Every structure is written in C-alpha cells, then in structure tokens.
Amino acid sequence: MKKIILVLALIIMAVPFLSFAAFPVNYNAAYDITDKDGVFKNDTYGVSVSATRPIKPMKEFTLTYKFDRPVKAVKFTSNMEMDMGKYEYEGKKISDTEFTVTQTLVKCMSGRTKWYTKADITYMNGEKSVFYVFYDVK
C-alpha cells in the first residue's frame, strides 16, 4: 500500500513539470524583442513592435504594434515555455495602424523565462493574420 501511495504521489508531483517540457509554439530568434525593438514582415505586410523595458516577471510592460496598413482589431495572447494557461488581452487601438497591449506576466515555477505574444490581427478588409514575437522575462 505504501508503494502505491508513493507512486501516486510521484505522479502527482511530476505532472506539472511534464507540462513545462515543450514550447507551445516554434521559437524564432529573428522575432525575439528581448533587447531591441523590431521591424518585421508578416505575410506580405509590415509590422514593427516596440516594448517598454526591462521585461520582468510581475512588472507591467507595454508592447506597441505599428502596421503598414489599416487594422480593425488585434487580440493578444501570451504564454511561457511551460503551458500554464493563456493570457488574453484586447489591444488598445491608438489609430488604424497602431495598437498597444499592456501585460503583466508571472514567473515560471520551473525557472524558464521564454515568453511569446501572439497577435491575432483582423485587417479592415476582413483578412486575418497571426504574428508572434518572443522575449525573455528574467
């Protein structure tokens, strides 16, 4: 009986750490904005992303997205290397080509620091696009 309890306790303790193993999306270093802002090509459209720094756990920071064509809405989702749940934010529209999102991200219990922000973009003509940026939260 003690062995069964020990095995169950080990399984219960291991399950959260197994969820830390895989990054939920493919990391792309070209889209990492940890140290500097970036100008990128999203499909055939341009987007620039700037961040208030430093990006730290439990500290509010803001991402500003500027698009080269008018955008109707942007929904932002963030997560860490570990799959601990999605954090969704509606973008604040500054103009038809500029949106901001203010986030506060938690500290990973396993010590991992890689995060992403996914932007679900809806253009004025109804086209939809997805764009990711990555950063370390240390």
Q: What is the mean pLDDT of residues 111-119?
A: 86
The pLDDT of residue 23 = 57
CA 106 – CA 80 distance, rounded (Å): 9
What CATH number does residue 107 fall under? 2.60.40.1930
Higher pLDDT pick, 93 / 83 = 93
Neighbour count for residue 124 (Cβ, 10 Å): 11
State the total domains in the chain.
Answer: 1
The pLDDT of residue 72 = 95
88 pLDDT band (50/70/90 cuts)? confident
> In this structure, what DSSP letter does residue 74 have?
E
**What average pLDDT is seen over the chain?**
82
Q: Which residues contact 113 (CB under 8 A, 6 or more apart)?
A: 80, 81, 136, 137, 138
> In this structure, what DSSP letter does residue 105 have?
-
Residue 26: give the domain boundaries.
2-136
CA 17 – CA 2 distance, rounded (Å): 23
The pLDDT of residue 42 = 79
Instruction: Read off the pLDDT of residues 43-62 as tens digits, 9 standing for 90 and up.
Output: 778 999 999 999 998 899 99
The pLDDT of residue 127 = 92
Q: What is the mean pLDDT of residues 92-120?
A: 88
**19 pLDDT exceeds 50?**
no
Q: Which of these ranges, 5-14, 69-78, 121-130, has the smallest mean pLDDT?
A: 5-14
**129 pLDDT exceeds 50?**
yes
